[in-house]
């Protein structure tokens, strides 16, 4: 039987994510709940438009949720971790600044979904393992 709240499940990278970003478990749960509630409230046409667009509209969708959930201090800690300014993030949301693979993995880990949502526009599937948040993901394989 599937859990009623799949977004409430911890992923394999949550500990490292919380340690590196200074976000706590409740903040991660609030982000994930807000994300799944927003996705669930969208019409089929809105979901289709979001999934068929490029990476930056999906990044903007996730970034908007972050701005609504995180406090100013949490947003500052997040930006410090990813080493990007508010201007950089705004440009990513508009498609004027490249969104690198590392940002895609970290955003996916933060929201607890597979990278396929942000990268390819697939339906947002919960990721129990969690995307690697290491700059060089192959270092985990050693």
Q: Structural domain boundaries of the chain?
A: 9-135
Task: For 90-118, write each residue's pLDDT tens digit.
Answer: 999 999 999 988 899 899 988 988 889 98
Q: Whole-angstrom Cα distance, residue 111 to residue 14?
A: 10
| Structure confidence by residue, pLDDT tens digits, 27-46 | 999 999 999 999 999 999 99
Helical ranges in 95-130 per DSSP H: 101-111, 115-120
Task: Provide CB contacts within 8 A for 126, sequence distance 6+.
Answer: 6, 7, 9, 112, 113, 114
CB contact at 8 A, 80 and 36: no
Stated pTM of the model: 0.85
């Amino acid at each position: 039987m599937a859990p009623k709240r799949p977004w409430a499940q911890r992923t394999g990278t949550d500990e490292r994510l919380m340690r590196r970003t200074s976000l706590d478990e409740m903040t991660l749960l609030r982000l994930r709940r807000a994300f799944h509630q927003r996705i669930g409230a969208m019409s089929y046409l809105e979901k289709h438009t979001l999934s068929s667009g490029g990476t930056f509209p999906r990044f903007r969708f996730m970034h908007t949720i972050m701005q609504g959930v995180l406090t100013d201090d949490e947003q500052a800690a997040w930006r410090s971790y990813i080493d990007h300014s508010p201007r950089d993030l705004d440009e990513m949301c508009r498609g004027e600044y490249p969104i690198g693979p590392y940002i895609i993995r970290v955003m996916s880990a933060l929201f607890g979904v597979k990278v396929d949502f942000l990268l390819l526009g697939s339906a947002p599937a919960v990721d129990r393992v969690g995307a690697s948040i290491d700059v060089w993901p192959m270092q985990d394989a050693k």
